[in-house]
Structure 1
Amino acid sequence: MACLGLSWELGAASGYAAVMRQIVLAAMRQGHRCVAIVRDLHASAPLLADLPALTVVQAPVATASRIPPVRVQTSYATLLHNRGFADPQSLVARLQAWRALFQAFGIERLLARHSPTAVLAARTAGIPVLHYGTGFSIPPARTPWPAFRPDIAEDDPRLAANEQRVLATTNAALHQLGAPALPAMAELFAPLPTALLTYPELDPYPRREPLRRLGLPLTSYGTPPRWPASPRRPRLFASLPVNDGTRGWLDILARLPVCALLRFSGPAVSTGPLPPSLAVADGPVDFAQAIADCDAVIGYGSHNLVCEALLAGKPMALIAQNPDHLMTGERLRALGAGIVLPERPAADSADRLLALLESSGHADAARAFAARHADAAPRAGIATTLLDLALAAGRA
């Protein structure tokens, strides 16, 4: 039996740990030992703490850098620049920390999600890697990596220049460790066995290379939804970000003729008095069941939430906070299955939400997506497929 490492280095939200949980359960059934190396111990605890055979430790993550961040991210290269790939000494320290964890726990194979430093460390240590995740965290194998934004052309010189800076940092760190240089940043991920947890319509990048797309594993967890008693109103499931725009979204939902169940992604929120048409979920709520019960979804741009909504045939209003949210939002809009809203409510946000609920076009497009994927392989088996791919990588 093998000792498997599961890494989560970048990104937020509990969806990372939810997928990890399913993989760990599949691995435990086969007798493997697992170590989860996670970015956020607090967010992971509700999903991983009850697995007695699992060791959970903090991932080595980049902290404040002495090098100023890129203010407007243009590609995955600028994301890496802002997440610890701008300073060779910082990168070396984290690579050494990852390798120390691998050695301390005897990790033989790594299942890496949104974990560029962990992937690089594993490769320098000779540990086989399965690279998996949504489309955003697995950019196409080309140089330079494609832009995050549609208004940036493929030949925009900023893309190549940004990537060259990150490549120089990466190779300087590899040189200090006595490891071979990368000829291009695309080589960080390109040689690895890879699995995309998304659907062709939601992949943010145009791809030329064939990749294995598995779809979204079963990730929903929590208590059954408890809806407000407003039977004649449309039901809206709202998974809202916690920031200075939260109060504005609550005010809009209170004015709309809806029955809304609210779930907050982040620290506890003091909502104050709410009208009877709104209810706040006390703790994690079963997303899949809540979405099955509702007429539409509004939420921050979590890829998992978007997939759950569309697989249930429900239209969605996506609140975009980050580049990956904006890219997912573009795909949602192109499908005609939803709308994209700003992080903080705009003057027309209430009218646009009402139009989403009243229009049949968005709902028809969402149901069409669900119908296209109705015959896909069972989602309950995706975690086992990921495990099998990781074990096969170790035997290659």
Structure 2
Amino acid sequence: MARVLMAWELGANLGHLTRLRPVATALQRRGHTLSFALRDVMGSRAVLPPGLGRVFQAPLAIHTTPTPAWTMADVLVACGHGHAAGLAGLAAAWQSLIEVSGCEVLIADHAPTALLAARVMGVPAVHIGHGFSVPPRLSPLPVFRDWAPPPAHHAADVDAQVLSCVNTVLRDAGAAPLDRLCDLFYPERTLLCTWPELDHYGGLGRSAADYVGPDGEYAPGAEPDWPGGNGPHVLAYLRRSHPGHVEVLRALADCRLPTLCYLPGEGAEPVSAPTLRYSRQPIDFRRALPRCSLLVCHAGQATVAQALRLGIPVLMLPEHAEQHLIARQVERSGAGVNAALQAPPVAYASLIEIMVRADGSHAKAARAVAKRHSAFDPAALTARIVEAAESVLT
């Protein structure tokens, strides 16, 4: 059996790790030895079961200046790929992790420097991720932040800058250079874990065969404890960091819809109402979602996908560009509303009353998405990723 290193380098929150978890569990069952290199080693303790494998802190660039990101090349600059000398140091740290772990195959989720280090060392890799972290195989890498277009020639210029740095690291190590920067994201096997309705790039440069479906296996959670009340039920997954979370909760209370809200973090309950109940623990979606007529969330892919699989529309409050792009795609499908595109002040109560209607356009569109993907099986996706990892072993 093989030694597998699972890497997560970039991206906020724990969505990337929840995608890796079922794959790791399946690999361990098949006798493989696992190690993890993770961006958030503290948060990982709430996601990974004990005994799954050794956990290392992922090497991260710490001396970078935040700049606007229009393309994935900009994201790479922000994580240390803008200067060859700095990138060489970062890649060397990843190489050390690969060596210490005894890695025979790398599984990377939003871990571009890990993919580079694997190329340097000749270690086969499987790249998995949603539409943002697996950009289209186009040169230059396309603009995703199209609501604020970049300066002329920016996409080509930053693409060339990062490609030069990456190829310097590869050549200095005696490895073959890349023809195009997008090739970094396409090692021995790459699986685009999303649907067209959730693709950050809106299908640009993709074919229907590229989509293998989103991570959507249900995670363990607390028993849903619904409040009393009549009418459609609403499940809300909100963060205190979003400036609109109190407005949304107030609107839900005003609508008098039975609402169960997961609101992590310290602090008092921001809105009190007989029809509103809070949970400090993640909720068991498998039990909670079937009773819902609406999901309110920040547009994380797994959360949205689980709702759409059941034909439940989604009101989305994105917190950053990745979530905004998913929310925009879902809104284009008709199955949800991106609150970030609503004129302020957002009329949340009116939106909610419209969206919970079973005969409304949002519910109909969500059911259409569910029908298009009725054959999708998250467990089969996990098995496909495991097969990909085992297929690249020599």
What TM-score, normalized to structure 1? 0.90
Among all aligned residue pairs of Structure 1 and Structure 2, give the percentage whose two residues are the same amino acid.
Answer: 29
| 1:77 counterpart (56, 73, 84) | 73
Matched residue, 2:291: 293
Q: Displacement, 1:92?
A: 1.9
Matched residue, 1:39: 39
Q: What is the distance in 1 between the residues matched to 2:186 and 2:271?
A: 52
Matched residue, 2:126: 130
Alpha-carbon contact 1:249-1:345 (below 8 Å) kept: no
Q: Displacement, 1:54?
A: 1.5
Q: What is the distance in 2 between the residues matched to 1:154 and 1:250?
A: 36
Matched residue, 2:393: 394
Matched residue, 1:188: 184
2:14 aligned with 1:14: yes
Alpha-carbon contact 2:7-2:38 (below 8 Å) kept: yes
SS in 1 for 2:238: strand
Q: Displacement, 1:176?
A: 4.8
Q: What is the distance in 1 between the residues matched to 2:343 and 2:353?
A: 14
Matched residue, 2:58: 59
Q: Which deviates more from structure 2 when the two are superposed, residues 85-94 or residues 175-184?
A: 175-184
Q: Which deviates more from structure 2 when the two are superposed, residues 18-27 or residues 136-145?
A: 18-27
SS in 2 for 1:5: strand
Q: Displacement, 1:169?
A: 3.0
| 2:105 counterpart (101, 106, 109) | 109
Q: What is the distance in 2 between the residues matched to 1:273 and 1:353?
A: 17
Q: Displacement, 1:155?
A: 11
2:374 partner amino acid: A
2:196 aligned with 1:218: no
What root-mean-square deviation, in Å, do the aligned CA atoms of Structure 1 and Structure 2 show? 2.5
Q: Displacement, 1:338?
A: 0.7
| 1:157 counterpart (141, 153, 156) | 153
2:189 partner amino acid: P
Matched residue, 2:239: 241
Q: Which runs of 5+ in 2 are unaligned?
A: none
Q: Displacement, 1:100?
A: 0.6
Q: Which deviates more from structure 2 when the two are superposed, residues 9-18 or residues 296-305?
A: 9-18
Q: What is the distance in 1 between the residues matched to 2:240 and 2:62?
A: 22
2:337 partner amino acid: I
Q: Deviations over 1:175-210 (max 9, x none)?
A: 554544333211212343111221233223322465
SS in 1 for 2:393: helix
Change (3 A) 1:304 1:208: closer
Q: Displacement, 1:282?
A: 2.6
1:366 partner amino acid: A
Aligned residues: 388
Change (3 A) 1:152 1:140: farther
Q: Deviations over 1:116-140 (max 9, x none)?
A: 0111111111110001111111011
Q: What is the distance in 1 between the residues matched to 2:109 and 2:247?
A: 34
Q: Deviations over 1:5-46 (max 9, x none)?
A: 111111123332222221121111111101121111222212
Change (3 A) 1:249 1:88: farther
Q: Which runs of 5+ in 1 are unaligned?
A: none
Q: Displacement, 1:49?
A: 3.7
Q: Displacement, 1:78?
A: 1.3
Q: Displacement, 1:225?
A: 1.3
Q: Which deviates more from structure 2 when the two are superposed, residues 277-286 or residues 294-303?
A: 277-286
Alpha-carbon contact 1:217-1:382 (below 8 Å) kept: no
**Residue correspondence of structure 1 range 308-319 to structure 2 within 5 A:** 308-319=306-317
Q: What is the distance in 1 between the residues matched to 2:220 and 2:343?
A: 29
Q: What is the distance in 2 between the residues matched to 1:244 and 1:389?
A: 38
Change (3 A) 1:194 1:284: same
Q: What is the distance in 2 between the residues matched to 1:12 and 1:272?
A: 24
Q: Deviations over 1:352-384 (max 9, x none)?
A: 2332224611001101111121123x3223222
Q: What is the distance in 1 between the residues matched to 2:347 and 2:393?
A: 50
